Structures are given as C-alpha cells and as structure tokens.
Amino acid sequence: MSDDSKPLNFIEHIVEEDLANNFPKEHLRFRFPPEPNGYLHIGHASSISLNFGLGLRYNAPVNLRFDDTNPAKEEQEFVDAIKKDVTWLGYEWDTERYASDYFQQLYDWAIYLVKKGRAYVDNQSSEEMAAQKGTPTEPGTESPNRNRSVEENLALFNQMKKGEFKEGTHVLRAKIDMASSNMLMRDPIMYRVLHKAHHRTNTDWCIYPMYDWTHGESDYIEQVSHSFCTLEFAMHRELYDWFLDQVYDEKKVRPKQREFARRNLSHTVVSKRKLAQLVENGVVGSWDDPRMPTISGLRRRGYTPESIRNFTETIGIAKRDNLIDVSLLEFQVRNHLNKVAPRVMGVLDPLKVVITNYPEGEEEWLDAENNPEDESAGSRKVPFSREFYIEKEDFREEANKKFFRLKLGKEVRLKNAYIIKAESCTKDTDGNIIEVQCTYDPKSKSGSGTEESLRKVKGTLHWVSIKHAVEAEVRLYDRLFTDESPDTHKGKDFMDFVNPDSLQVIKGYLEPHLKEAKIGDRVQFQRLGYFCVDPDSTSEKLVFNKTVGLRDSWAKIAEK
RNA sequence: UGGCCCAUGGUGUAAUUGGCAACACUCCGGUUUUUGGUACCGUCAUUCAAGGUUCGAGUCCUUGUGGGCCAACCA
C-alpha cells in the first residue's frame, strides 16, 4: 500500500504494535459512534477519517454506531443527517448499529451484576448522592443503600423497569470504590429512570443505560478491537475496563479504548452544545448555515469532501491541545477547487465603463478558457459590448506604480478581450466616480495572434457586459467569531465574541451562461474567489455563496 | 492540598532499537503568468527549564514550570 511511506500517527502505532504482538489482523474492527443529538462538525471529520481511514488501511470493517441512550436529546432527524454527512465525506460503514439495539443484553448483564453483588439500587436524591461523592482530594462515603440484599435489589430494579418509579427517584449503581482517586469509580450510575419515548424503542423501556455502562459493552458486543475517543474520556477508561471485566469471555476480542485530542479550529467553536446555541439564539440561520463549522455547513459553503479529507489528513492526530489555524482548511479547499472549478467572470462591486470608440449596438462573443489547470474543461463564449462593469477597486484616477490596474491615461488588458486605455471619468455631486470613459485597441483582441494582441500590459481585469449581465444575490461570509479561541476565556462567554458582520449580502453581475447554474455548482469568479450555488437559488433568483477568496497578495501590498 | 494526560518553528503534525530535527500551511522575499490566482525557488527552530545517564538525548531518568481533564440521573 502507498500508505507505507507515510509516517504513522500514534494511534496507528498502537495498532501496529498490537499486530506485532500477534493480535490477528482479521480481528481488527473499528467504529464511529456519534450520539444523534446534533449535526456532525469538522471535529467529527477527524474522528471519521481516523476510524474509517484505519478500516481502509487494514481492510477492516468499520461500524457506524449511534450512541442513543438518552431519549431526551436524540432524534431521528439527526440520525439521518449524520448518515448523509458520513456518506458525503466518502466513507462506507460495514453495519449500521445502535446502542439501543443492545438494551435487552445490557439489561440482562445488569441483572447478572446485581446477582454477583456488583450493582445495587439507590433511591437517594441526586443531591444526597453528590454529597457522598466526595471531592478529588477527599474520598466519598458509602450510600446507606449500598448493602441491600440481592433479592431486594432485584425486586427494586424490576420495579424500575416496570415503570413503578418516578424519574429521579431510583438508579442502579455499580458497586466499586467510593474512595477511588478516580471520581468515576465512586459507584457510578448504570441506569436511570426516564419516562420518555425513544426514537427507536419508543416506550419499550423507561430505564435507560448510561454512557459508561453502554459504550464498552457495545464495543464488546460488536467485537470492536480498538475504540478511539477524545481525551476527556481518558478517565473513563478505568471504568470501561471494569465493566468489561464483569462480562468478558477470554475467547473473544477484548476492545481497547485509547484517547486522542479533539481538534480545535480557530475562530469558531467545535462543540455540538455550543453550535446548537448559535442556532437557537439565531446567530446563524440553521445547522447548515455556511458559516457553521458543521459538515453540512461546509458542504453548503462550497467545500468539497476531498478538501475536508485532505485537511484531516494533514492535521493528523495526536494527544496535545491544539488550535488549528483555519488557513490550513482554506488552503485545502482552494487547492482542490483550483483544479476542478470552472473559471467565470462576475463583478460584485460594479463601476460602469464605456468604450467611446466601440460601435454602439455592436456585440461580439469572445473565447474564454474554462480552466487553465484542466485543458479538457474546454472553453466557452462570453459577450462583449460597448458598456460593461469592472470592480470599483480596479480603477483609480491616479495611483503609484504598484497599482497594476486601470488609471487615467494608462492601459490594462480586459481578460479574454481587448486592451483598453482610460481617458476620463465622470463623478456624481458627492465626488464619487460613476463612469469611466475608455478607448480600446481593436487589434489587441485576445487570441487573435496579431502583434498588438501579444503586447504585454501589466494588469488584467475581469469584466461583465452590462447588456448581457445576469444578476445574482451573493452572500459573503466572514469568520463567525472575532476571537481565535472564543470558548477558552475564563469568565467570558463565547457568545460575547460573535462577529456581528459575519454575513454580507450583495448583488452581483455575472456572465450570462451562469443563468444555467445548478444548486451546488462550484465556480471560480476570476480574481475574486470560489463561489457555489446555494440551495436557496431558484430559476428566478440566483444565489451564490462565497466559499473562500483567492489568495490576495495585492491586499497585502495595498495595506502598506 | 489528590489523580490522569500533555509540552518540537507563527499553526498543525513527523523523526527505525537513542544517531544530520522532516513535511504541509502561514509569513516574508523572488521567478513565471492575459487571474496581483496557479506553478516554481528561497529565508524563518540549537525540540518548556535545570540536572542526570550516554561516544551520542527531541527520544531514557529526576526535579521543576506551563497547559488540559476529572466531583451531570449528558455523551
């Protein structure tokens, strides 16, 4: 495999080491286990790439497992969205599983634990139990219910299951060690009463297993060999192993939990809870708002699956805290779109230009290359006429030598058209330039092969013939937060850093064939950036999203 | 005051059993260019600190320092 040449991350080293220690390769199995309580985001993309990448690398199955043990938060809508996103990213799971598929098995095992004296029913309030829990530096105290008889526990647990108790009154706890230095080992809760309908099991159950009791056992049931999760679960590993010990059969694969650091992206938040807050508070329109770091948001923004996969590959996986600069993500989408996006012309901040020596009423259709990076993309025709738009910032009455664009008395090349020279301009009463008058060199037509057409002029501008222009709504996006790490400031809420100007809606003028553009189409507006057609687009009204700008070295020069 | 994890350029990751600190991005400078895009070339680190082991330490040991996580009937 070509993968062999690439350096391994620490997770791959762990797998390699297990293989070297005679773990059978055919027993390798992985899983991606989202809770269906929200949409997947760029952080999940790393986990998805890790697990499915391992599956590809070792030709091992990868399950998509929904960790659906909390009916209060989970919905079918999210299950569907997650499946769509994983598929869109280009991965195929072996089998689709649900933790809820295992509710009966988990229940049977719980009974087994009760019978072994390893679990008991506690009917104290959560406050009482919290008080007995102790602190990281002080041991906890044992519950008065800790030594109930097996018979009594069995009866109580049965009553819990039958719905005879109200929520919050009874729980099943593992009997471990109230003095453990690991708070999670201080008799953790295995089951709670929840009189809520579940999106899959409906009202079959009114007791639901907790994460810790569910996750490792689910891995075990599925015979997952390596269970990877984020660092905040590191302390859970001891409990994961303890629960496994209770039911483990030596002849089976024993799953191994290992942890990696969550990927943090600059100028955004990567947490389902916080992203949900942005939606609920109306900061963004929806989970798939193009400003969101969700997979669906990035998709709508115009990102390609390839660019996201390349991103996760280049940022890698490790255990240290990180804040990945968004420029690494932007590079990947530019890099991919540069190769595949057709070039077109669009003017977003129009200034009218009139060629005084071009015949009135005349028009010609000029050849334009679709993609200089891809000869097979061919060419198209664009209409040229006496009056057209250029960008306002592409004209100045006077400017220094670094300004390669149109200025009075100087020439520029119009992309795929003629060389023009600015002769004069007119202004409104406020002094704003509203029109530029030019002359053109009729022999300088692009591709005509004449001596004049081969002349070198410093600047090349994009333009759109006014008579032929198609209007479109264009949505420009800026970073969602003004701070690079909005949720890491103690005493400050991440919402305080929301960028009030993250969305700007303008009108653009595009070359006419864009009228045929379909939802999801991605193009490069030459000299401006990459844009895609938003799902809001209709046959009457085109809507484009700006995915990302081109690298802009002029902006840096202009700043100085 | 307890336990667990982590520390390599501006950012993210690499570095066979200890053996010339590498790759990508960014920044800065340059070449090419009918996109100030692309492509190409170049500059930017004595690996948190102090000791120790060793012919040799980013890697092993000790002690610091800094950061993260742990007391939801969430996952």
Residues ≥6 apart with Cβ < 8 Å to A538: none
Residue nearest to nucleotide B35 (CA to C1'): A527
Number of residues written out for chain A = 560
**How far: A42 CA to B9 C1' (Å)?**
26
Buried b (16+ CB within 10 A) or exposed e, A56-75: ebbebbbbbbbbbbbbebbe
Helix A150-161 to helix A103-115 angle, to the nearest 10 degrees? 160
Residue nearest to nucleotide B24 (CA to C1'): A314
For residue A112, the tally of other CB atoms under 10 A from its CB is 13
Candidates A108, A124, A127, A125; CA nearest to A116 is A108
**How far: A232 CA to B70 C1' (Å)?**
9
Q: What is the pLDDT of residue A5?
A: 63
List A35, A142, A473, A484, catalytic entry: A35
C1'-nearest nucleotide to the CA of A140 = B71
**How far: A318 CA to B7 C1' (Å)?**
12
Residue-by-residue DSSP string for A260-280? EPPP-BTTS---HHHHHHHHH
Q: What is the 3-state secondary structure (H, E, C) of A315-367?
A: HCCCCCCCCECHHHHHHHHHHHHHHHCCEECEECCEEEEEECCCCCCCEEEEE
User: Is-catalytic flag, A272?
Assistant: yes
Q: What is the pLDDT of residue A346?
A: 98
- Compute and round to an integer the Cα radius of gyration of chain A: 31
C1'-nearest nucleotide to the CA of A259 = B5
List A256, A272, A299, A405, catalytic entry: A272
Buried b (16+ CB within 10 A) or exposed e, A501-510: ebbeeeebbb
C1'-nearest nucleotide to the CA of A167 = B73
List A146, A262, A352, A380, catalytic entry: A262
User: Is-catalytic flag, A35?
Assistant: yes
- The residue type of A164 is E
User: Does the global pTM surpass 0.90?
Assistant: yes
Residue nearest to nucleotide B74 (CA to C1'): A70
Instruction: Provide the strand spans (E) within A370-459.
Output: 379-385, 387-391, 395-396, 406-407, 411-414, 419-427, 433-440
Residue-by-residue DSSP string for A225-257? SEEEEEGGGGGGHHHHHHHHHHH--TTS---EE
- As given in the structure block, the two tokens for residue A466 are 């006014």
Residue nearest to nucleotide B22 (CA to C1'): A7
Report CA A388 to chain centroid distance, whole Å.
39
- As given in the structure block, the two tokens for residue A6 are 């690439």
Three-class SS state of A140: coil
Q: What is the pLDDT of residue A1?
A: 35
- As given in the structure block, the two tokens for residue A12 are 């791959």
Q: How far, in Å, are A102, A126, A206 from residue A167 at the CA level? A: 22, 11, 9
Residues ≥6 apart with Cβ < 8 Å to A324: A263, A264, A265, A266, A315
For residue A539, the tally of other CB atoms under 10 A from its CB is 6
**How far: A243 CA to B48 C1' (Å)?**
39
C1'-nearest nucleotide to the CA of A237 = B4
C1'-nearest nucleotide to the CA of A72 = B74
Q: How far, in Å, are A269, A325, A353, A495, A549 from residue A315 at the CA level? A: 17, 10, 46, 27, 22
**How far: A338 CA to B38 C1' (Å)?**
8
**How far: A75 CA to B54 C1' (Å)?**
60
**How far: A231 CA to B31 C1' (Å)?**
47
- Cα separation, A101 vs A78, whole angstroms: 17
User: Is-catalytic flag, A25?
Assistant: no
β-strand A189-193 against A207-209: which pairing, if any?
antiparallel
- The residue type of A202 is N
C1'-nearest nucleotide to the CA of A557 = B36
Candidates A494, A535, A495; CA nearest to A518 is A535
Residue nearest to nucleotide B36 (CA to C1'): A554
Question: Averaged in consecutive runs of 10 residues, what is the pLDDT profile of chain A (560 residues)?
Answer: 66 94 96 97 97 96 98 97 98 98 98 98 96 93 97 98 97 97 96 98 98 98 97 96 97 96 96 94 96 98 98 95 96 97 98 96 95 94 97 94 94 96 96 96 92 91 97 97 92 93 97 96 98 96 97 86
Residue A65's H or E segment, with its range, is strand A62-66
C1'-nearest nucleotide to the CA of A194 = B73
**How far: A341 CA to B75 C1' (Å)?**
40
- Cα separation, A556 vs A310, whole angstroms: 27
| Strand B bases with any atom < 7 A from protein Cβ | 1-8, 10-15, 24-29, 34-39, 67-75
For residue A439, the tally of other CB atoms under 10 A from its CB is 16
